[in-house]
A and B are shown apart, each in its own frame.
Chain A
Amino acid sequence: MYQFSSRLKSFSFALMVLGILGIGYGFWTAPKTNEDVEKILKEQEAHHGGAHHDTHAAASHSEATHDEHAKVEEHASHEATTHEAEVVDTLKHEVAHVAVDTASHAEVDSTAVVIAPVVANHKSDIYVSKFHKEHVDHAAEHKEHVEHVKHQLQNKPWSALYVACIFFMLIAVGALAFYAIQWVAQAGWSPMLFRVMEGVSSYLLPGSIIFIVILLLTCFRVGDNHMFVWMADGVATKGHENYDHIIAGKTGFLNIPFFLIRAVIFLFGWNLYRYVSRKNSIKLDQTRDMSFFRKNYNAAALFLVFFIVSESMMSWDWIMSVDPHWYSTLFGWYVFASFFVSGITVITMTTIYLKNKGLLPEVNKSHLHDLAKFMFGISVFWTYLWFSQFMLMWYSNIPEEVTYFVTRIENYNLPFFGMVVMNFVFPILILINADFKRLSWVVVMAGIVILAGHYVDFFNMIMPATVGDQWFIGVSEISSVLFFAGLFIFVVFTALTKAPLASDGNPYIEESKHFHY
């Protein structure tokens, strides 16, 4: 039996406490009012100095003109009373005429000189009224902009929490899918690792409970949570200021009750399989009754059928619907590849940890090699899907779908392309070598980069829609990851203590013990 080492336990608690504090800080410092946002925008502008961001420039411009506002208005009204609009118009015409003809008709010059002061006077007048009009637009725009930024900044701690929560929950789902595949395929190498896989997937239950709580908080808009645009009031009501024609057409699928029902069904189905399979697996060890093996085989086959459908719909619901105007057909597989490789990576890293503590004496370098091969292969698979999705949209460049990538490339350039380096270039160069796949430190290093890369992947899927260009990997994001990492470690290693680490009732266990490649 595995004993949860007290050092690891305190480490996981430290992570959770740090995480909770940071998450709390994130919510505490999120702006509550428009005034807070104005202040933040000013600060951002000060930080940026000369290098103005578009939105900052617009904001600062309005700031500066605010004070002049009264003066300008007074001046404009004064001018309006002394000069008739007709006069202004004719003069304007003349100005244009003079400007055009100056070069060719020298004699006009004298008249031009005569009227010049007058024209100059009127020109400034026209300019002022024009400027004034622009200025009014700016004020309205600025207010809208502040409102927009406020929503983004209020979303930030929520999105950070959401990304970390879904990422860690899906790692458990990925491990569970891998586990089910091993049962169905009747793999001869992996039964040695079944307990580790069951341990990693044990996070599914607490993970999905927290996730469903966050979904409920989102659906009932507790706190300033605007992550899902389609949940806003009146998006589907004609004549409402929030009315969105496109979202209104999707309410048959995207409505809160159906959304929650689907979420419950998916999470229930996955948890049910995990519960049944774990129970049968332990019973198989205890009784050596082959009926449990067959039961688990059937359960895994049924689960995989349910999983591929639910996983696809899950990705539309929980991830794609933050961008309700955008759709992609291979999105479900893309999300699957991302968390599947993360799940395998976590299984590998847990195995290496336990092996290094001498708790899995029969796990050899060939098991490690096989896991590393899966990490390598699925990383490439992820890249294939990432590229297919990106390239098809980039190539056809249809405005309604390409905006998804335009916002990501413009505002998330480093994370967007950085994750390709972390999830593809790095693993392909490191894990292509057969000898490297047998060195645990190389596999752990690759695993850390892959996990970080896939966190960034989920970050890239959620953040551009919820916080837009206000993103920043700061206290909220890091703390959320720390909290869920701590919880994950605590739950997984607690589950590992519940049963002997070597599952010895499996008919393939002898083959697995002697597995070598």
Chain B
Amino acid sequence: MSNKVVHAIYNDDDVLLAAVHKTKAAHYHIEEIYTPFPVHGLDKAMGLAGTRLAICAFLFGITGLTIYSFMLKFIMISDWPQDIGGKPSMAFYQNMPAFVPVMFEGTVFFAAHLMVITFYMRSRLWPFKEAENPDVRTTDDHFLMEVGVNGNEEELVSFFKNTGAVEVKVIDKH
């Protein structure tokens, strides 16, 4: 199987969006699109599934709330219930208002940090990671669509030329 891909390069996001619609209509499989900034509606045009990061964050938040609640319950009520300034330490609910600031911050802390870490893991981002940039111009002012070549190469190249690409290259991908 050949590892050939077409790199169609555009210099306008509207042209890119129109090209994505055409490519989808022609049933070519878009491998990846590189853009210098978020293009509104690109994910919808490509038909990407919605992110579930928000659901993760919600679950992380609940985890944080549970952990902090149990921590406070254990330390302040179960392990050593001291009388500190007359605060009732007989049961968790009696002293709960004093714990709420901690529980709230714990919830936010877990939701935020774990969601960010999840995002990094899911997007495979870490320090010293080698950049996967096929063309340096895509971080500046060009947009690049990568489509796998299956079958007629000539036809594919002319198709992308017609979508308004400023440059179409066929590249052997290793």
Give residues in A with beta carbon < 8 Å to B.
387, 390-391, 394-395, 397, 432, 434
User: How many A-B residue pairs lie within 8 Å, measured between CB atoms?
Assistant: 12
Q: In the bound complex, do residue B58 and residue A387 qualify as a contact, i.e. CB atoms below 8 Å apart?
A: no
Instruction: Specify which chain A residues have a CB less than 8 angstroms from the CB of B98 in the assembled complex.
Output: 391, 395
Complex-state Cα separation, A395 to B54, whole angstroms: 34
Candidate in B54, B58, B97, B98 with the most chain A CB atoms within 10 angstroms = B97
Q: In the bound complex, do residue A387 and residue B100 qualify as a contact, i.e. CB atoms below 8 Å apart?
A: yes
Q: In the bound complex, do residue B58 and residue A432 qualify as a contact, i.e. CB atoms below 8 Å apart?
A: yes
Least CB distance from A392 to B in Å reads: 9
Least CB distance from A332 to B in Å reads: 22
Least CB distance from A372 to B in Å reads: 16
Which 5 pairs across A and B sit closest by C-beta, in order of nearness? A391-B97, A394-B97, A395-B98, A387-B100, A391-B100
B127 within 8 A of A: no
- Which B residues, 119 to 144, have Cβ-Cβ distances below 8 Å to chain A? none
Instruction: Specify which chain A residues have a CB less than 8 angstroms from the CB of B97 in the assembled complex.
Output: 387, 390-391, 394-395
Complex-state Cα separation, A391 to B86, whole angstroms: 15
Complex-state Cα separation, A46 to B98, whole angstroms: 41
Least CB distance from B91 to A in Å reads: 15
Least CB distance from B93 to A in Å reads: 11
Q: In the bound complex, do residue B100 and residue A397 qualify as a contact, i.e. CB atoms below 8 Å apart?
A: no
Instruction: Specify which chain A residues have a CB less than 8 angstroms from the CB of B86 in the assembled complex.
Output: 397
Instruction: Specify which chain B residues have a CB less than 8 angstroms from the CB of A434 in the assembled complex.
Output: 54
Closest Cβ neighbor of B87 among chain A residues:
A395
| Per-residue interface assignment for chain B, residues 70 to 110, with 1 indicating a CB less than 8 Å from any chain A CB and 0 otherwise | 00000000000000001000000000011010000000000
Chain B, interface size: which category?
A: under 10
Least CB distance from B105 to A in Å reads: 13
Give residues in B with beta carbon < 8 Å to A.
54, 58, 86, 97-98, 100
Instruction: Specify which chain A residues have a CB less than 8 angstroms from the CB of B58 in the assembled complex.
Output: 432
Instruction: Specify which chain B residues have a CB less than 8 angstroms from the CB of A387 in the assembled complex.
Output: 97, 100
Closest Cβ neighbor of B55 among chain A residues:
A433
Given contacts A390-B97, A391-B100, A395-B97, 9 further A-B contacts (CB under 8 A): A387-B97, A387-B100, A391-B97, A391-B98, A394-B97, A395-B98, A397-B86, A432-B58, A434-B54
Complex-state Cα separation, A434 to B86, whole angstroms: 44
Closest Cβ neighbor of A384 among chain B residues:
B104
Closest Cβ neighbor of B61 among chain A residues:
A432
Closest Cβ neighbor of A390 among chain B residues:
B97
Complex-state Cα separation, A432 to B97, whole angstroms: 24
Least CB distance from A432 to B in Å reads: 7
Instruction: Specify which chain B residues have a CB less than 8 angstroms from the CB of A391 in the assembled complex.
Output: 97-98, 100
Listed by A's residue number, 5 A-B pairs whose Cβ atoms lie within 8 Å are A391-B98, A395-B97, A395-B98, A432-B58, A434-B54
Closest Cβ neighbor of A387 among chain B residues:
B100
Complex-state Cα separation, A474 to B86, whole angstroms: 39
Complex-state Cα separation, A394 to B95, whole angstroms: 10
Instruction: Specify which chain B residues have a CB less than 8 angstroms from the CB of A395 in the assembled complex.
Output: 97-98
Complex-state Cα separation, A391 to B95, whole angstroms: 11
Least CB distance from B66 to A in Å reads: 16
Least CB distance from B157 to A in Å reads: 36
Least CB distance from A409 to B in Å reads: 11
Complex-state Cα separation, A332 to B86, whole angstroms: 30
Complex-state Cα separation, A152 to B93, whole angstroms: 32
Closest Cβ neighbor of A391 among chain B residues:
B97
Complex-state Cα separation, A394 to B97, whole angstroms: 8
Least CB distance from A237 to B in Å reads: 39
Complex-state Cα separation, A391 to B96, whole angstroms: 10
Instruction: Specify which chain A residues have a CB less than 8 angstroms from the CB of B54 in the assembled complex.
Output: 434
Least CB distance from B123 to A in Å reads: 21
Complex-state Cα separation, A387 to B100, whole angstroms: 9
Complex-state Cα separation, A391 to B100, whole angstroms: 9
Complex-state Cα separation, A240 to B86, whole angstroms: 39
Complex-state Cα separation, A391 to B54, whole angstroms: 30
Least CB distance from A228 to B in Å reads: 30
Least CB distance from A475 to B in Å reads: 35
Closest Cβ neighbor of A393 among chain B residues:
B97
Least CB distance from B150 to A in Å reads: 36
Complex-state Cα separation, A517 to B97, whole angstroms: 37
Instruction: Specify which chain B residues have a CB less than 8 angstroms from the CB of A397 in the assembled complex.
Output: 86
Complex-state Cα separation, A434 to B55, whole angstroms: 11
Least CB distance from B111 to A in Å reads: 12
Least CB distance from B102 to A in Å reads: 12
Complex-state Cα separation, A172 to B86, whole angstroms: 44
Complex-state Cα separation, A395 to B84, whole angstroms: 12
Least CB distance from B54 to A in Å reads: 8
Complex-state Cα separation, A390 to B86, whole angstroms: 17
Least CB distance from B83 to A in Å reads: 14
Complex-state Cα separation, A269 to B125, whole angstroms: 57
Complex-state Cα separation, A55 to B109, whole angstroms: 48
Instruction: Specify which chain B residues have a CB less than 8 angstroms from the CB of A394 in the assembled complex.
Output: 97
Complex-state Cα separation, A16 to B54, whole angstroms: 46
